[in-house]
Amino acid sequence: MQVPSPGQNSKVAAFGAINYATGQHRSLVPRVVKGGKNSAQFLLFVGGLLLRARRTGKRIILALDNGPIHTSKRTTAFLTHPDVRKHIQVLWLPKYAPNLNDQERVWKVAKEQGMANVLFSDRDSLMDHVRMVLTSINARPNACFSIGRKLGTRTIRKYLGTGT
């Protein structure tokens, strides 16, 4: 007896950031033929945050874990460039501390909403589904979780996020 198998599971890279003032989430699911996350895709996402910071005049605090795409030579060169440092401050989280990274909560909710353990006919269908789930989260952040933080009487009004 033969049992049909879908073969190798496909993965999709996704990047996200949280605005602590509003609870809103921003995400990017780059359309690539195959493969996972890399520094170029991460910098595409951070570049979008940089453009927003320049446009709004608000500085971004970007919380990153020490994953390889966050510490690569290419990423380090970008994040330490004087023009970027005017708009983005990096807050380094300790290694292996997902409990300190609220972006991990977003990924957990996304998986619970149907991004994990689902079989698709092809990679494009998977990517479209991931985008749909993240768009749903981005549109109604408080419907599935509350991320807003207060520090004393002051609300933190910066983006905190991660590339993974």
Which pLDDT score, from 0 to 100, does residue 156 have? Answer: 42
Q: How far apart are CA 97 and CA 149, in angstroms?
A: 19
* pLDDT, average across residues 82-103: 88
Residue 5 lies in a domain: no
Q: Is residue 10 a part of any domain in this protein? A: no
Contacts of 47 (CB under 8 A, 6+ apart): none
- Reported as a single tens digit per residue, the pLDDT across 3-47 is 555 556 667 778 888 887 777 778 888 776 666 688 888 999 999
- When pLDDT is averaged across residues 92-114 and rounded to a whole number, the result is 82
- Reported in sequence order, the residue ranges of 14-153 that DSSP labels E, i.e. its strands, are 15-19, 25-28, 60-64, 88-92, 150-151
Q: Is 1 contained in some domain?
A: no
In a domain, 104, yes or no: yes
The CA-based angle 20-138-45, given to 5 degrees, is 75
Query: Is 32 contained in some domain?
Result: yes
Q: What is the CATH number of the domain that holds 39?
A: 3.30.420.10
Max Cα-Cα span within the chain:
67
Work out the angle at residue 157's Cα, subtended by the Cα atoms of residues 156 and 160, and round it to the nearest 5 degrees.
Answer: 85
State if pTM tops 0.85: no
- Position 81 scores a pLDDT of 97
What pLDDT is recorded for position 143? 54
pLDDT at 68 over 50: yes
Question: Vertex 79, ends 147 and 136: CA angle to 5°?
Answer: 30
Residue 9 counted as domain residue: no
> Domain of 71?
15-162
Q: Is residue 66 part of a domain?
A: yes
User: How many folded domains does the chain comprise?
Assistant: 1
